[in-house]
Amino acid sequence: MGAMAARVEMADVSWTALGVAVGRAAEDARPDPLFHDPLAAAFVAAGEAHAPFPSGAAADSPDIWQQMQVLMGEYVSVRTKFFDDYLLAATAAGCRQVVLVAAGLDARAYRLDFPAGVRVFELDMPPVLRFKQQVIDEVGAQPRGERIVVATDLREDWPTALQAAGLDPAVPTAWLAEGLIPYLSPADNDRLISGITGLSAPGSHLSVEYIDADFAKVPDLMRDVDPEMTNWFADLWKGGVGNDPVSWLADHEWLARTADPAELSRRHHRDLAPLFAGTAGFTPPQFITAQR
Ligand SMILES: C[S@@+](CC[C@H](N)C(=O)[O-])C[C@H]1O[C@@H](n2cnc3c(N)ncnc32)[C@H](O)[C@@H]1O
């Protein structure tokens, strides 16, 4: 990795995307990976070299990356595999647009073999998308199909920005919101799902990593790992959805079903950290898929 020009500046919430990349890089390095994501290691190397992580908290902790790995365990591997399979199935079923809502450092446009003609839109805040592009350009990676980056704030009028970037609401879309829900308030999540529904032609698919208010207890459980990280995470939780996911999506015209990460981890021979296994005293995340 060559030298990057400057210190990386991102919103605190965007650093969580680098935490996900840590998990994906670890999976990619295994002899029996569930998926390949070579860009993940490049993102981690660039973030490690150029950042205090995150701003303020734990900035000087040299083993912050290992701590992230302890927290996440192999959850990211199972989660990534589930949503990879979802997107491949939704595009095989006819969706010709993929929208990665809060794409972060998701490299699916570079690593998944979507059917010909599928356009991948990536929505996230401008600084994380700039960081991502810098690393991609340094590595010289090329997307497998058309990739369209939309720098926007999901609490604002992102539907207008997405349509201006070329999303056609008359064409079925496969949406993915992975690792986003708890960082938005219930009102912002409602606006987000309304925006998604408003742009979704019949035949569209939606998948969401569902983590709700109960997870707000998680920062307390993290205190053993790193108190500064704990405080940092606590500030990021904004409340989630405040409803069970199937009802929430039904209210927004989606027929949803849930998948259990623990079941998937057994199937894939991966271990979930207690935080994600339902053994740490709170409701674990669920993976939701929905259609309309
Ligand atoms: C945990 S990361 C998940 C990234 C990606 N979906 C993945 O799984 O690799 C959370 C992402 O949500 C983005 N995010 C959070 N709040 C946002 C907002 N209001 N507008 C746009 N992006 C937001 C962050 O910038 C960050 O990239």
**What separation in angstroms does the CA of 236 have from each of 126, 212, 219, 229, 247?**
18, 13, 10, 11, 25
Q: What is the pLDDT of residue 201?
A: 98
Is any ligand 1 atom within 6 A of the Cβ of residue 112? no
List the residue whose alpha carbon is closest to atom 25 of ligand 1.
14
Q: How far is the CA of 265 from the centre of ligand 1 (A)?
A: 24
184-204 pLDDT, tens digit per residue, is 999 999 999 999 999 999 999
Q: How far is the CA of 10 from the centre of ligand 1 (A)?
A: 11
Q: What is the pLDDT of residue 5?
A: 43
DSSP 14: G
Q: What is the pLDDT of residue 70?
A: 74
Is any ligand 1 atom within 6 A of the Cβ of residue 130? no
Rounded to the nearest angstrom, the gap between the alpha carbon of residue 48 and the centroid of all alpha carbons in its chain is 19
Q: At what angle do helices 15-28 and 64-72 cross, to 10 degrees?
A: 80
Of 6-20, 21-35, 78-92, 165-179, the least confident: 6-20
Q: How far is the CA of 222 from the centre of ligand 1 (A)?
A: 21
pTM, full prediction: 0.94
Asked whether residue 242 carries a pLDDT value surpassing 60, the answer given is yes
Contact status, residue 146 vs residue 120, Cβ threshold 8 Å: yes
Is any ligand 1 atom within 6 A of the Cβ of residue 285? no
Of 39-48, 219-228, 272-281, the least confident: 219-228
Is any ligand 1 atom within 6 A of the Cβ of residue 178? yes
Q: What is the pLDDT of residue 53?
A: 55
Q: Probe ligand 1: pick from 98, 124, 287, max atoms within 8 Å of CB?
A: 124
Q: How far is the CA of 123 from the centre of ligand 1 (A)?
A: 9
Q: Which residues lie closer than 8 Å to 209 by C-beta, 6 or more apart?
A: 79, 83, 177, 178, 179, 180, 181, 285, 286, 287, 288
Contact status, residue 64 vs residue 55, Cβ threshold 8 Å: no
Is any ligand 1 atom within 6 A of the Cβ of residue 176? no
Return the H-helix or E-strand segment holding 121.
strand 119-124
Asked whether residue 213 carries a pLDDT value surpassing 70, the answer given is no
Q: Return the SS3 of 89.
A: helix
Closest atom of ligand 1 to 14 CA is 25
Domains annotated for the chain, with CATH where assigned, are 79-225+237-291 (3.40.50.150)
